[in-house]
Amino acid sequence: MTSGHTDGQGLKGHVKKKGLIVVVLLVGLGLTLLRFTGGIGAVTNLSDRNPWGFWTAFDLLCGIAVSAGGFAVASAYYIFGFKQFHVYVRAALTTAFLGYFFEVIALVYEVGQPWRLVYPFFLSQGTTSALFLVGLCVALYLAILSGELLPALFERFGRRKARARAVRLAAPLAVIGAVVAVIHQSSLGSLYLIAPSKMHPLWYSGLMPLFFLLSSLFAGLSMVVVEGGLAHKYLRDCTDDRHVRDADRAVSACGKGASLFMFAYFIIKCIETAAGNNLQYLSSGFGAWFLLELGGGVALPAVMYFIGVRRERPGLIQGAAIITVLGVVLNRFNVSLVAFNYNLPSAERYFPSWMEVALSVFLVALLILAYRGICSGVPILRTHEDYEEELR
Amino acid sequence: MNRRKFLSLTSAGIVAAASPVNCRPASAAAEGHPDAVGVLHDSTLCIGCRSCEAACQSVNAEILPRPESYKIPEKPFYDRSVLATKRRTDFQRYTVVNRYDVEGRRPVHRKFQCNHCIEPACASACFVKALYKTAEGPVLYRPELCVGCRYCMIACPFYVPAYDYHNARNPLIYKCTMCAPRLASGELPGCVSRCPEKALIFGKRSELLKIARERITESPEKYVKHIYGEHEAGGTCWLYLSPVPHTLLDQPEVGSDSPSRTTSGILESAGMTAGILSVLLGAVCFLGRRRRNDAAESGGARASDGEAHKKVYEGDKEDGQ
C-alpha cells in the first residue's frame, strides 16, 4: 500500500467494515430486546414439533465442535509432547474459552427461563439426562479453560510469581481438560440417541457419540488453522515474528492430526452405514445429501490435507481446513435439522427465521470482537517480552 | 476381582463411552408398576363428538390460559368441522380428536394426548427432573423446576409436550396429566367422565389390556390385531384399539424399546470413561515428561529441574529445527 489511491480504498473498506459491525450489533440488540419481551416465539420459527432449531445447530453443536481445537492442541502439546503445536496452544485455548463462553450466552437466549440455568446443578439433578452431562461438562470445562489461560493473564499484569505457579498447573489442567472435553464432545452426540424413531437411519447410530468426538477433533484442529491464517492476516499487530515464522510447522501438524482423525472417521462411518443395513437409503435424496456430507465434507478435505502435508503446500492445507470446518457444520445441521423429524410432512418441518440467524451472527460478531480485544491486550498470539528468555 | 474380569470391565467402559446404547439394563420389556392405571380408547366406538375436548378444557380451566388469549379463535366444542383439519395438542389444549377418512369405510376418530409411558423418555431426558413418572401411572410435571430447554419435546416419540413460546416471563411445558388431582380424589379423568359412547375406559392398565384382547378375539372383523401402546416405546398407560392400521391414524411406529434406555446410564459410563481416560492421559503425560527431562539432562546441559520443566513446557525448539 504505497500509493495514496490504495490507501483511500483501504480507508473506505475500513469504514464499510465498521459500518457492517455496527449494523450487526444494533440489529442484534434490537432482537435481544424482542426475545426477552416477546418470548422465544417472537424471534424464532420453533414449534411444538420442532423444539430445537438454528441456535441449537449452530451455536451449540457447531460452536462446541470447532472449540475442540483447545483441548486437541493442548493435549498434543502438554500430554503427548508435540512441540510444533506450541505457537497455537494459547490461541486455541482462547478460542475454546470464547466458544464455550458464548455458548453459555447463546443458552440464555435459547432456553425459556435462563435464570433457572443453575437449577440442574444445585436444585434438582436429572442424572439420567444426556443434557445434564452436557451442562456439567460446559461448566467444568469453562473453569478448566480459565485456569489454562491464567499464565497469559498473569503475564499481561506482570505477576511473575503467580504466573510461575499457574504454569506449573498447565500439564495437570491439560489432562483434566482433555478428559472433560472428550466426554463433553461425545455427550453432545448422545443428545439425539433418545429419539431413534424421529431420526433418519443414515444419521442415527449408536456410535453418534464417537462420531461427534472424532469430528470435533478434526473440526477443532481445522478451526485452529483457519483462525491462525485469519489472525496473521487481520491481527498482524497482535502477533510477533516468531509466531508467524513457526505457524507453518504448527499448521502442518494440525493438518496431519486432522487428516488422521478424518480417515478414521470416514472408515468407521462407512462400516457403520453398511453394518446398520442402511445402504438402501443411499439412493434416496437423503442418501445423496449424506454422501455429499461424507464425501465433500470429510473425504475430500482429508485427501487435501494429506497431499498438502506431504508436499508442504500451506495453501492447500488452508483450503482443506476451511472445507473441513464447513463439512462439520453441515454434519451438525444435518443431524439436528435434516435427519431429525425427517418423516414429518414438509409443511411441519422447520426452517429458521431471519431473526434466529441474525442473533447468531450477532453473537459471532461479539465473539470476534472479544477475541480481538483479548489478543491485543494479552500475549496470546505473541510472546511476552519478559518471558522471551525462556524460549531462547 | 481377577484380571480377566477387570479387563472386560474396562473395555466395557470404553465401549460404553463411545456408545451409551450398549449399556442398557438386561431386561428388555418394561413391566411398570402392576397397579398403574390408564385409559383404553376404542376408536370403533368413538363418534368424534369432542365431548372429551370440552371436558378437558373445563377441568383444566385453571391451568390452561384463558380463552381470550387464544391466538386462533377456537370453534366451539360442538362444532365438528374442525375435525377435518389435523390438529395437535398445544399449550392451550391437552387433548384433541382428529378424524381420519379411510377409503371404503366410515371415518375413524382418534384421540390424541399424553400416552403416559411406562418408562417415559421425557422424564429421562429432563435435566432437572421436572417431569417424572408416578407409580399410579400419570407422568407429571413440576413447573417450578422447568428451565425450558425443551429436551423433553425432542425425546418424546409421540410429539406430546407443548411449549408456550410467546411467553417471555414464565414459559412452560404443557401436557395431559391424566387428571392426576382428580384421580387422587377418586374421580375419573375429565375426558373419560364425559364420553357419551364409552369409547374411553379408565382402569388398571393390566385390566385394560385384558379387555382390549377380549374385544379383538370376540370380534376380529372389527379390529386390527394390534393394541397400540401395549409395547410402543416400552409400553404406555394409554392404549388404543383401531379398525384400521394405527399408522393411518398418525400413530407412529416407534419400536418396542423405551427410548429412555438409550441414555439413562450415560452418567455412569461417563464417570467410568473419565476415570480410565484420566489415568491413561496422566500416565502418558507423566512418563513423556520424565523421558524428555532425562533426555535434556543427558544432553549435557545439566539443567536443573525447574529449567528442564520450563524447557519442555515453554516451547523448546532444540530438536524441532
What's the pLDDT tens digit per position in A275-332? 888 888 898 899 999 999 999 999 999 999 999 999 988 889 999 999 999 999 999 9
Q: Could you tell me the CATH number of the domain that includes residue B182? A: 3.30.70.20
Q: To probe the interface with A, which of B124, B173, B263 has the most A CB atoms within 10 Å?
A: B263
Residue B24: what pLDDT?
41
List chain A residues with CB under 8 Å of B308: none
Task: Report angle CA A18, A358, A200 to the nearest 5 degrees.
Answer: 140
The 8 Å CB, 24+ separation contacts for B156-159 are B156/B121, B156/B122, B157/A195, B157/A197, B157/A198, B157/B121, B157/B232, B157/B233, B157/B252, B157/B254, B157/B259, B158/B114, B158/B115, B158/B233, B158/B252, B158/B254, B159/A48, B159/A49, B159/B88
H helices of chain B, where? 3-18, 51-59, 121-125, 151-155, 180-184, 190-193, 205-218, 260-263, 266-296, 305-313
Phi and psi for A122 in degrees, rounded to 5? Answer: -110, -25
Q: Could you tell me the CATH number of the domain that includes residue A95? A: 1.20.1630
Q: Which chain A residue's Cα is nearest to B22?
A: A206
Residues 6 or more apart whose CB falls under 8 angstroms from that of A130 comprise: A187, A190, A191, A193, A194, B20, B125, B263, B266
Residue A186: what pLDDT?
93
**Cβ–Cβ under 8 Å, residues A381 and A375:** yes
In a domain, A218, yes or no: yes
In a domain, B15, yes or no: no
Residue B31: what pLDDT?
63
Specify whether B288 is located in the same domain as B165: no
**Cβ–Cβ under 8 Å, residues A298 and A266:** yes
Specify whether B222 is located in the same domain as B181: yes
Residue A9: what pLDDT?
59
Read off the pLDDT of residues B156-194 as tens digits, 9 standing for 90 and up: 999 999 999 998 889 999 999 999 999 999 999 999 999
**Which residues of chain A carry a pLDDT beneath 70?**
1-11, 389-392
List chain A residues with CB under 8 Å of B279: none
Interchain CB distance below 8 Å, A42 and B151: no
Specify whether B183 is located in the same domain as B259: yes
Residue A342: what pLDDT?
94
CA distance B10 to A6: 64
**pLDDT band, residue B4 (cuts 50/70/90):** very low
Interchain CB distance below 8 Å, A391 and B314: yes
In a domain, B6, yes or no: no
Q: How many CB atoms lie within 10 A of CB B291?
A: 11
Q: Which chain B residue's Cα is nearest to A83?
A: B315
Specify whether B190 is located in the same domain as B303: no
**pLDDT band, residue B306 (cuts 50/70/90):** very low
Residue B226 has pLDDT above 90, yes or no: yes
Q: Which chain A residue's Cα is nearest to B269?
A: A183
**pLDDT band, residue B294 (cuts 50/70/90):** confident
In a domain, A262, yes or no: yes
Interchain CB distance below 8 Å, A209 and B20: yes
How many folded domains does chain A comprise? 1
In a domain, A3, yes or no: no
Interchain CB distance below 8 Å, A39 and B278: no
In a domain, B58, yes or no: yes
Interchain CB distance below 8 Å, B157 and A195: yes
Write down the number of H helices and E strands in chain A. 16, 0
In a domain, A296, yes or no: yes
Residue A210 distance to chain B (closest CA, Å): 5
Domain endpoint, select from B225, B242, B263: B263
Q: Lowest-confidence range among A258-262, B250-254, B297-301?
A: B297-301
Strands B238-241 and B96-100: unpaired
How far are the Cα atoms of A282, A350, B3 from residue A346, in angstroms, in the given order? 20, 8, 55
Specify whether B175 is located in the same domain as B286: no
The arithmetic mean of pLDDT across residues B78-86, rounded, is: 80
Specify whether B232 is located in the same domain as B287: no
Residue B74 has pLDDT above 90, yes or no: no
Higher pLDDT, B76 or B30: B76
Residue B70: what pLDDT?
55
Interchain CB distance below 8 Å, B125 and A387: no
Residue A301: what pLDDT?
95
Q: Report the amino acid identity of residue B39.
A: V
ipTM field: 0.90
Residue B320 distance to chain A (closest CA, Å): 7
The string of DSSP letters for B57-80 reads HHHTTTTSPPGGG-SSPPPPTT-G
Residue B17 has pLDDT above 90, yes or no: no
In a domain, B252, yes or no: yes
In a domain, A41, yes or no: no
Phi and psi for B25 in degrees, rounded to 5? Answer: -65, 165
Specify whether B94 is located in the same domain as B214: yes
Name the grid cell of A54: 438454528
In a domain, B18, yes or no: no
How many folded domains does chain B comprise? 2
In a domain, B38, yes or no: yes
Q: To probe the interface with B, which of A86, A131, A217 has the most B CB atoms within 10 Å?
A: A131
In a domain, B77, yes or no: yes
Specify whether B141 is located in the same domain as B279: no
In a domain, A57, yes or no: no
Read off the pLDDT of residues B92-151 as tens digits, 9 standing for 90 and up: 889 999 999 988 888 999 999 999 999 999 999 999 999 999 999 999 999 999 999 999
Q: Which domain holds residue B172?
A: 29-263
Specify whether B223 is located in the same domain as B298: no
Q: To probe the interface with B, which of A109, A194, A348 has the most B CB atoms within 10 Å?
A: A194
List chain A residues with CB under 8 Å of B23: none
Interchain CB distance below 8 Å, A191 and B253: no
Q: What one-character DSSP code corresponds to residue B117?
A: B
Q: Which domain holds residue A300?
A: 66-342+349-383
Q: To probe the interface with B, which of A111, A129, A186 has the most B CB atoms within 10 Å?
A: A129
Percent share of chain B, pLDDT over 90: 56
Pick the closest to residue B203 from B118, B110, B137 (CA basis).
B137
Specify whether B120 is located in the same domain as B178: yes
Residue B321 distance to chain A (closest CA, Å): 10
**pLDDT band, residue B20 (cuts 50/70/90):** very low
The arithmetic mean of pLDDT across residues B200-222, rounded, is: 94
Residue B317 distance to chain A (closest CA, Å): 8
Q: Which chain A residue's Cα is nearest to B163?
A: A48
How far are the Cα atoms of A92, A184, A187, B90 from residue B273, in angstroms, in the given order? 24, 11, 12, 40
* pTM given for the model: 0.88
Residue B27: what pLDDT?
43
In a domain, B8, yes or no: no
